[in-house]
Amino acid sequence: MTISKEQIIQTAKLARVKLNDNEMDDITQRLSSILELVDQMQAVDTSAVEPMANSLDAVQILRTDQVDEPADKIARRNELLEGAPACEDGLFLVPRVID
Amino acid sequence: MTKPNTELHNLTIAELHSGLQQKQFSSHELTEHFLQRIAQLDTELNCFISVDAERALMLADEADQRLANGDTADLLGIPIAQKDIFCTRGMRTSCGSKMLDNFIPPYDATVIARMQQAGAVMLGKTNMDEFAMGSSNETSYYGPVKNPWNTNTVPGGSSGGSAAAVAARLAPAATGTDTGGSIRQPAALCGITGLKPTYGRVSRYGMIAFASSLDQGGPMTRSAADAAVLLNTMVGHDPLDSTSAHAECSDFTKQLPKSIKGLRIGLPKEYFDQRLNTAMADKVHEALQQLTALGAELVDIELPNSALSVPAYYVIAPAEASSNLSRFDGVRYGYRCENPTDLEDMYTRTRSEGFGDEVKRRILVGAYALSAGYYDAYYRKAQQIRRLIKEDFVKAFEKVDVIAGPTSPSPAFALGAKQSDPVEMYLEDIYTIAVNLAGLPGMSIPAGFIDEMPVGLQLVGNYFDESTILNTAHQYQQVTDWHQRSPID
């Protein structure tokens, strides 16, 4: 299966990645060769095979839904916000969403 | 009496432990010694992204205090290098990416916390391929690591910094992570011992996610005996990781001295076909001969679907990566582009500027494989192939105790040699990837040299049976000295 330039642009949009025009040819070629590699899978009949998401076939473990908060919530919040590119009044700050 | 400092970096973990316990040297002296080596040698090798000498010496002093109080914890006072994928509270954790160049985690990964409890002294954070995506360490935002055996060649990846640091004796031991071979392949290329445990053995909490159903942390050391000691500290169920296994963790050093007489070693015919170059095949056969001299039996086996492991992996890993890496959006931590015009612009430019080329490629492949209309053809298909690959191994382990073969197709290649063709780079992991897909434990041990560059022998064990591969490796290391060779005095 080959991938077209349009498909790449569409996928990049979905993945929130912007590609420059001068990157396009290179990436189209590289992605095509990767897809060529993965297409080797199509030669095998797997119609009777159950897909495997976890190598131990483990099931999702659930825990009790209980509040688990640090003693000093404000201090912890401030610590978590320290790494944020922008914050204000204990909240993450992002560009205006609604005019 | 203090041992001469020149020897400290050649001691095993057990020797360091006993030297510290018997007060032959202090953790402070030991840590200073390694920090000096790093200062001296790492400008060229580039194994470390971050070294915080002050913090390391503080941890060493704490360890010395614990030693003085009679504490005998396994890693007490021993300097360890941590791959920069493990979150370390208060210390930058970059994952080899511009995206996290300024990221200071507010918490410790479970692996880090357990090591600290065991008294290990964190020397620094090691270089790696960006988000662990690469087999040569060339995708790191911080520049490539050089292989200490020949600085014109790659150390392998993605745990290349850890592998090169252990090989060059910049640290007695290190941690790595392995999604498709990222512990074993650099271990092979740098001539050290590296172990990827069974999926679920080592907690992934705080280990920055690449492909969650494949990622597994493990030790990178000079010997199997050292690996067993580190593994003891790293393993165990962790409620903070929902995929953490409830498996018994016996002392991994216990079985090391056992004879391997009667051990059945399976040789997959697919790993020894015409694609394996002659020099490499010779080295593997030499190692196998030594194992048979120790009493092991060789058994021919088949892993008929192994050729499909690379294709299946390059759907599953990028798909999981594209999902995991969606969290890097410039909102909560990490890089944010300058002057975003709106939210969409912020997401897109943050990600385009923050991620390197290989990471973007994998995100695109993953997003494409998961997108409407392609999911069945790619993702579902890959998961079906994954089951076939696992079933091959399950069947093989009915007949054998260990599976052996090469770790990588060739020794270390020149820097830049495989950068133009992603598929050629992906084939670097042709012998290691199936083990991740199946979730089995695997390790690489030094098995000689080709043109003065180290090669690795891969040993794969059954589920949760790390002890048997460690035992096999240790017995091999009793009769060989490849693992004691050092590229730098």
Q: What is the ipTM of this complex?
A: 0.94
Identify any residues that bridge with B298 across adjacent strands, giving them in sequence order.
B265
Three-class secondary structure of residue B52 per DSSP: coil
Three-class secondary structure of residue B428 per DSSP: helix
- Is B213 a member of any domain? yes
What number of CA atoms fall less than 13 Å from residue B24's CA on the CB side? 14
> What are the C-alpha distances in Å from B153 to residues A56, B156, B413?
37, 9, 5
DSSP state of B265: E
Cis peptide before B371 (omega within 30 of 0): no
Residue type, A82: E
User: Model confidence over B405-438: pLDDT tens digits?
Assistant: 999 999 999 999 998 888 888 888 999 999 999 9
User: In CATH, what number is assigned to the domain containing residue B56?
Assistant: 3.90.1300.10
- Is B301 a member of any domain? no
Predicted confidence at residue B454, as pLDDT, reads 98
Which residues of chain A are within 8 Å of residue B106 when distances are taken between CB atoms? Answer: 76, 79-80, 82-83
* Domains contained in chain B, number: 1
CB-CB neighbours of B489 under 10 Å: 7
- Is B450 a member of any domain? no
Question: CB distance from B322 to chain A under 8 Å?
Answer: yes
Q: Do A95 and B345 touch (CB under 8 A)?
A: yes
User: Model confidence over A31-46: pLDDT tens digits?
Assistant: 898 889 999 999 999 9
Residue B128 C-alpha from the chain's centroid: 10
Of chain A, the percentage scoring pLDDT greater than 70 comes to 99
- When pLDDT is cut at 50, 70 and 90, the band that residue A2 belongs to is confident
Contact assessment for residue A98 and residue B342, using Cβ atoms and an 8 Å cutoff: no
Predicted confidence at residue A1, as pLDDT, reads 60
Residue type, B219: P
Predicted confidence at residue B1, as pLDDT, reads 42
- Is B15 a member of any domain? yes
Predicted confidence at residue B420, as pLDDT, reads 83
Nearest to A55 among B239, B311, B439 (CB): B439
Q: In chain B, positions 268-307, which contact chain A (CB-CB < 8 Å)? A: 305, 307
Taking residues A75-99, what's their average pLDDT?
91
Give φ, ψ of A86 to 5 degrees.
Answer: -155, 135
Predicted confidence at residue B387, as pLDDT, reads 97
Contact assessment for residue B473 and residue B188, using Cβ atoms and an 8 Å cutoff: no
**Is B83 tagged catalytic?**
yes
Among residues B83, B196, B283, B418, the one annotated as catalytic is B83
Predicted confidence at residue B365, as pLDDT, reads 93
Q: Do A85 and B390 touch (CB under 8 A)?
A: no
- Is B326 a member of any domain? no
- Is B443 a member of any domain? no
Alpha helix (H) residue ranges in B251-326: 278-293, 309-324
Residue type, B182: S
- Is B174 a member of any domain? yes
Residue B384, both tokens:
């079906």
Give φ, ψ of B50 to 5 degrees.
Answer: -135, 135
Contact assessment for residue B255 and residue B470, using Cβ atoms and an 8 Å cutoff: yes
Predicted confidence at residue B308, as pLDDT, reads 95
**Is B182 tagged catalytic?**
yes
Which stretches of chain B score pLDDT less than 70?
A: 1-6
Please tell me the pTM assigned to this model.
Answer: 0.96
Q: Do A51 and B380 touch (CB under 8 A)?
A: yes
Tell me the residue range of the domain where B64 lies: 8-262
Give φ, ψ of B47 to 5 degrees.
Answer: -70, -30
- Is B413 a member of any domain? no
CA distance B62 to A85: 34
Contact assessment for residue B487 and residue B236, using Cβ atoms and an 8 Å cutoff: no
